[in-house]
Amino acid sequence: MGAPRSICIAGAGSIGCFVGGMLAAGGHRVSFLARARVIADIEAHGLTVTSFEGFSRCTDATTLSLSPDPAILGAADIILVTVKSADTAGVADLIARHARSDAAIVSLQNGVGNATVLRQSLPGRRVLAGMVPFNVIALDGARFHRATSGDILVERDDADIAAQLAVDGLVVRGTDNIAGVQWGKLLVNLNNALNALSGLPLRQQLAQRPWRMLFADQMAEALAVLRAEGLRPVATTPLPMWLTPHLLRLPDVLFQALLGRMMQIDPQARSSMWEDLQRGRRTEIGYLQGVIVDLADRHGMKASLSHRIVKLIRDAEINAKGSPGMTADGVRGTAQG
């Protein structure tokens, strides 16, 4: 790590709290623009970050700056935007009014359009797109547990912001093709909705071939749409993107052997969309499957699976009863009885 920086987390959810906790443990001065509930939880317990790899680090609340007042943005050298995609324009307005003009702004959000929204709202500012590949589970007592593997990627710039954010236990690397990386992450994130609809832990879901077949078919559908748009996604996992649907269709024994060597998933990991349904929050389905639907419509193509999954998630949001606990056949619409 280089010299300590003043870093503000704009959006203290699971990803924001985990990344902020790691940066604080690594010696940076970290502040959080957060809701009162989150602030109270951290003040009562400190901020603890853990990982499936076995580490655990706790930062005392007195060493952090915590506030619901956006004026807290004013001291930051780097602002990490970790709000839901639907809140990007709102947080951009807060940054415009309260942040220093020379602060670097890094989007660590799902989806592919958030950095564009930030740039349009913040002309002349340094805005960088980023990608967080791993899953974080929010636990009681202000504990945030990283449940899957992967390195954060950030758009490369002259100041090498990626290197400034890298600390022990949190790998952050620069990339010259962040757009391709984000499209690759979007394809992987298509499973978020499947996991939310299943109600199963990720490892258990991916261990079942019917769910993997559904994921593979959805990914193949999306890849066809992206080809029509002229987009070339970059793999965010060790699996080549074009090969991934074929590998997902492998028999369980072969897939488990492959997954064990190439990916690490905590037994308790579930998708953030599952957590959104459980907590009665709006999901980011419109920024995942919804994007595929929009692109398909533009090219006069069918995206039947994405259409159906968007509808099922919207129905679950309206019902507000958490995950519907569906089967893979039920999601496809082929369940009997």
**222-235 confidence digits (pLDDT tens):** 999 999 999 999 98
* Among candidate residues 226, 199, 222, 228, the one with its CA nearest the CA of residue 328: 199
Domain boundaries, the chain: 6-176, 180-332
The model's pLDDT over 297-315, given as tens digits with 9 standing for 90+, comes to 999 999 999 999 999 999 9
Does the structure show a pLDDT above 90 at 178? yes
pLDDT in tens, 59-70: 999 999 999 999
| Sheet with 6-10, edge to edge strand ranges | 65-67, 29-33, 6-10, 78-81, 104-107, 126-131, 152-155, 172-175
Q: What is the pLDDT of residues 237-287, one digit of tens each?
A: 777 788 889 889 999 888 888 766 666 788 889 999 999 999 999 999 999
Mean pLDDT (whole number) for 181-199? 96
- At 202-218, the pLDDT tens digits run 999 999 999 999 999 99
Residue 118, pLDDT score: 98
pLDDT of the residue at 336: 44
The model's pTM: 0.92
What's the average model confidence in pLDDT over 38-55?
96
pLDDT of 259 reads: 67
Q: Give the per-residue pLDDT at 270.
A: 93
| Fold designation for 180-332 | N-(1-d-carboxylethyl)-l-norvaline Dehydrogenase; domain 2 (1.10.1040)
Whether 6-176 shares its CATH topology with 180-332 is answered no
Give the per-residue pLDDT at 2.
Answer: 61
Which CATH code fits 6-176? Answer: 3.40.50.720
- The pLDDT value recorded for residue 242 is 82
Mean pLDDT value across the chain = 94
pLDDT higher than 50, residue 96: yes
- Tell whether the model's pLDDT for residue 293 goes beyond 70: yes
pLDDT of residue 264: 75
Q: Are 28 and 20 in contact (CB under 8 A)?
A: no
